Structures are given as C-alpha cells and as structure tokens.
Amino acid sequence: MSFEIKEKDLLARIGRLKTKSGTIETPLLFPVVNPLIQPVPPRKIREEFGFEAIITNAYILKKRAYGKLTKNRLHEFLDFNGAVMTDSGAYQILVYGDVEVTPKEIVEFQEMIGSDIATILDIPTAWRVTEEYAKKTVNETLKRAKAFFKQKTRDDVLWVGPVQGGRYLDLVVKSAREMGKLPFEIHALGSPTEVMERYRFDVLVDMIMTAKMNLPIQKPLHLFGAGHPFMFALAVALGCDLFDSAAYALYAKEGRYMTEAGTSRLNELEYFPCSCPRCTRTNPKVVAEMNPNERQTFLAEHNLYVSAVEIRRIKQAIKDGRLWEHLQMQARAHPSLLQALKKLNKYKDFIEKHDVAAKNSGLFIFDSVDLMRPEVVRHKKRLEERYIPPKAQILLLAPQTRMKPFHKSMEFKQTAACLHDFKKYSDRVHICFYAAPFGVIPYELDEVYPLSQHETVLPLDDETVSYVADQVTRYISRINCKMVVLIDDPQNWGKTVMETVKKACLKENIRFRCMNVNKKEKEASTTRLDRILRET
C-alpha cells in the first residue's frame, strides 16, 4: 500500500491512496451503492458528481447476485471504473443479528470479485448492549482479524481492520491497540451509525479519538456510516481519511432535502436554497408533483451534490490552513455539533502534537471555543517549556491593540514615549503584551507566527478574559521580578486582568502598579512611570 500525505491541518490530511484501480485522494467519501436498487447509476456518480470511489455490500452481492459475478468482474457489474470498496455484511449483523456466511467465505468472495478495498466480517458493537456483550464483539472481531491473514491469497487488495467497542472506550482502546499490531492497510471505526442517528456527536468524538490515539497514525482511518455532510468536517478534523454514507439515497426515499446545515422536508420548501444544476432548473412544487421514482432520483442527485461540495470545501480549508474556522461554522448548524466541538478540549494536546506549526493564513478568533485550537495550546506549551524570560526587575504588561504586531501600534508607541529615554531602562524592564487568545506575548516574540497573524472578535467573552488573566498570573509566578506595571486596557476588559494580577502580585510579594496612559494625561503618566522605574 502507498499512502502519501500532501497537506495537513488539525488531524486532517489531504492524501493519495494507491489502489489497484487507480490512486484516490483523501478525504474521500464513498457513496453507498445498493447493487439491487440504486436511484443514481454508479457511472453517473463518478462522471457527473466526481466521486472517485464507491462502496457496496459484498454480503448482498453474494446472496442476491452471485450468479452474475465472475472473477474480477465487480467493476463491470456495477459499471464503475473507479475504486470500489466492499463492506462485509457487518451492518446486516447489526440490524438482523446474524448473516448466512462465514468470515472465510466473505474474504474469498471479495477477493474473487476483485474489490479494491475490502473488509473482514467483524462483529459490530451496538449502542444498547452490555459491557460484557461488547467485550465479546471486540474479542471475536480480533480473533477473526488474526485468522484472516491465513485466509487471504491476494496482495493487490487493501484490507480494512475494523475497531469495535462502541461507547465503551476502554474496549475501543484494547481493540485499536490489538488491531493496530496487525498488518492491515486501512483501519476503520465500526458501529458509529446508531451514535450519529441519536445525534450523540460528543460520544462520536470520544470513539474516534480513542481509536485514533491507539492506532498507527500513518495509516488511513475509515469511518463507517458517516451520514450527513454537516458532520463531515468534524470527522475529517479528527483524522478520518475515508468515510461512507448512504444518507443521500435514504433521505431521498423519505422526501428529505439536504442542505449544508441540516435537512428539510420537500413538502415544507417553497424555494430551493441551492444553486446545483438540479435545483436551479425547477422549484419544490414541481418536484413534489413528480412520480415517486423521479422525485427520489432528483433528491438523491441533489443530495450527492451537497455532499460533494462539502468534501471540496473541506479540502480547500485544509490547504488554506482554515479547517478550524470551517469546523467552527459547521458546528453552529446544530447544538449537538457545537457540544461535540467543545469535547475536543479533552484531546487538545494530541491534536496540537500532530497539527502543523505554521499555516498559509492567519487565525480568526471568534470566542472561547478557540482557546483549544492547536495554535493557542502550542503557544502556552512553548512559552512554559522553551522560552527563558530575561532577568529584569520590572515586568511591564501592555494591552493588545487592533494593529499587529502590537509593538508597532500608536497605542504602544505612546506608552513607550512615556518612558522618555526608553533604552536606559531596557536592561531592567521586561515588556510583554496581554492579549487574547494567547495570554502573554513577550515583546521579542510579537511578530512570530501566529502571534501577530490573527484577528480577534471584541469585546471578549468572559471565558476568554479569564483565560488571559490566568495565563498572565502563571507567567508572573515563573519570572523573578520585583514589580509588575500593568498598562490598563482602554477596552475595559483589562480590569479583570488587573484585579487578577494584583492578587497574584500580593501572593508572590511583588509590588504592583496599574497605569492608564492616554494623550490627556501624557505628562502626568510620563512623570509617574519614570518615577516608578527609578524607584525600583
């Protein structure tokens, strides 16, 4: 197998995965194709909608179309010249409790028909099962995975090793670690469908991250049954390179119209909020009057367009280094998605470790949710672990300004002017800025990415202000100074910082002064600041 990573952002990768039918680019959505009933022909899915690969069910093919399939004829049977992935029938086990095929038979069948990517017959962990039963699904899946390598005969098929355990995260850890030791080309997280149907995206975050953190990071990860495109960005940001969805067809059958932020019932629409080729040529009333098959095809094709557009939007966001911003916007589509985004705080250190240090664009800081972005986490770590503050008697804390870098702003130049001969204090004064979202920014680091390459929404929310105040007090406790001089913030959010710093200085037995430097009081400020510096 060859999996080449071209671009990275968060845990997301734009990569190239080589299959025997050609190279496919990740993140990649496999539309689910029902080999017996399909509203959109597979050929059209590739040629008109641009999907490089599809997924179909090997168990259904074996049971219903075995006589029509001969050796290496899968692509011809489906009329699809891209990559074809086959699932093993595990979903049927989840729904019906069992399948009429052995693990060895389904392996032999997938090799015979010529799948590009194939899956062993695992035992899925359902949502409403006891922990004891969940253990059995994990153990049986691992047993089958180990036996599989004595059964396979072809080396040109990429095989998927599924991770089970469901919401029992300790079992997911065990499953992922043991599965990760086996030489599967691709790994997959099984059993997420019921979690997503219940909109428990916060649980899904735990499941994906637990698997991701215990699997080989260099191998592609597949998410079975991803569903609606409004959660694709979340899955990709957490490191899912591949995922499949039948939602485009299932929703169409139910008369449901996908949008990037949710779904609508066709009979509730007066206008199509979409500019795809299907929607621009008609209106909801006309579509509602179509015969059922035509209506289902219309909706399925529209839903495919929405899914394809979201994948392209995510890829561009990765390339631009703006996947976090896109994830922030998508999370506002539903409260459960925002709840899931906030769950990333639990895994912020792992995400920061694998995120790239520099990106092609600056950051947009909207609210306290952005405090867990990798760039903010990284700055905090490096300031504590790598930065050695200068030996100075006085710590001068200046507020952030709209202009960046802060030290080139008129506001800071005004502060510097109050020091008269600024250079004579340079060996005694350590200058830092207190700023959202990074907390403390030393003067000499002011232009280092991304400390000056960001835009922050003002006024700040309370959580962000508290974070900045906490980071400033942590910094004060690290350095050995005799006095802290804080320049008050004209936006007034600095008052919280001032009160917090004042308490910290009292605790550390450090002298504290707060000043408000402005044009009207420039002469008084000059005299006062000079006096403070001379006295220290």
pLDDT digits (tens, 9 = 90+) for 486-497: 988 766 677 889
- Average pLDDT score over residue span 460-489: 91
Q: Is the peptide bond before 437 cis (omega within 30 degrees of 0)?
A: yes
Choose the weakest-confidence range: 188-192, 249-253, 308-312, 436-440: 188-192
pLDDT digits (tens, 9 = 90+) for 148-195: 999 999 999 999 999 999 999 999 999 999 999 999 999 999 888 888
Residue 356 scores a pLDDT above 60: yes
pLDDT confidence of residue 527: 56
Band of residue 412 on the pLDDT scale cut at 50, 70, 90: confident
- pLDDT over threshold 70, residue 28: yes
The amino acid that residue 29 corresponds to is L
- pLDDT exceeds 80 at position 420: no
Say which CATH superfamily domain 3-347 falls into. Answer: Queuine tRNA-ribosyltransferase-like (3.20.20.105)
Closest CA to 184 of 117, 138, 125: 117
What pLDDT was estimated at residue 340? 97
* pLDDT range class, residue 423, cuts 50, 70, 90: low
Report the alpha-carbon distance of residue 464 to residue 391 in Å, rounded. Answer: 29
Instruction: Give the CA distances from residue 497 to residues 203, 436, 439, 454, 492, in Å, rounded to whole numbers and listed in that order.
Output: 36, 11, 10, 21, 10
- How far, in Å, CA of 161 to CA of 175, rounded? 10
Q: Left if phi > 0, otherwise alpha if psi is -120 to 50, otherwise beta: which for 54? A: beta
0.85 exceeded by pTM: yes
Task: Return the pLDDT at 427.
Answer: 73
- Report pLDDT for 126: 85
What's the sign of the alpha-carbon dihedral 490, 492, 495, 501? negative
- Segment holding 222, helix H or strand E: strand 221-223
Looking at residue 149, its pLDDT comes to 95
- Name beta bridge partners: 244: 30
Considering the chain, what is the average pLDDT of its residues? Answer: 91
461 is annotated as an active-site residue: no
Instruction: Dig out the tokens for 80 from the structure.
Output: 């699809």
C-alpha distances in angstroms, 513 versus 209, 487, 501?
A: 46, 9, 10
Q: Where are the domains of the chain?
A: 3-347, 366-535
Q: What was the pLDDT predicted at 236?
A: 98
Could you give the CA distance from residue 321 to residue 9 in angstroms, rounded to a whole number? 6
- At 528 the pLDDT is 60
Mean pLDDT of the 119-130 span: 91
Is pLDDT at 524 greater than 60 in this prediction? no
The Cα 498–Cα 49 span in angstroms is 57
What confidence tier does 37 reach under pLDDT thresholds 50, 70, 90?
confident
Among 87, 241, 355, 370, which one carries the catalytic annotation? 87
Enter the DSSP assignment of 236: H
Kindly report whether the peptide bond that precedes residue 277 is cis, defined as omega within 30 degrees of 0.
no
Give the CATH superfamily of 366-535: Uracil-DNA glycosylase-like (3.40.50.10630)
Residue 28 and residue 315: Cα distance in Å, rounded?
10
Q: How far is CA 82 from CA 14, 77, 87, 310, 510, in A?
A: 19, 13, 16, 20, 69
What strands lie across the sheet with 3-9, from one edge to the other? 3-9, 12-19, 22-26
Helices within 265-334 (DSSP H only): 284-288, 292-320, 323-331
Taking the chain, what is the end-to-end CA distance rounded to the nearest angstrom?
66
Q: In this structure, what DSSP letter does residue 149 have?
A: T
* Residue pLDDT, tens place only, 73-103: 899 999 999 999 999 887 776 665 667 789 9
Q: State how far the Cα of 203 lies from the Cα of 468, in Å rounded to an integer.
A: 30
Confidence of residue 518 (pLDDT cuts 50, 70, 90): low
Which of helix, strand or coil describes residue 484?
strand
Q: List pLDDT tens digits, range 216-249.
A: 999 999 999 888 999 999 999 999 999 999 999 9
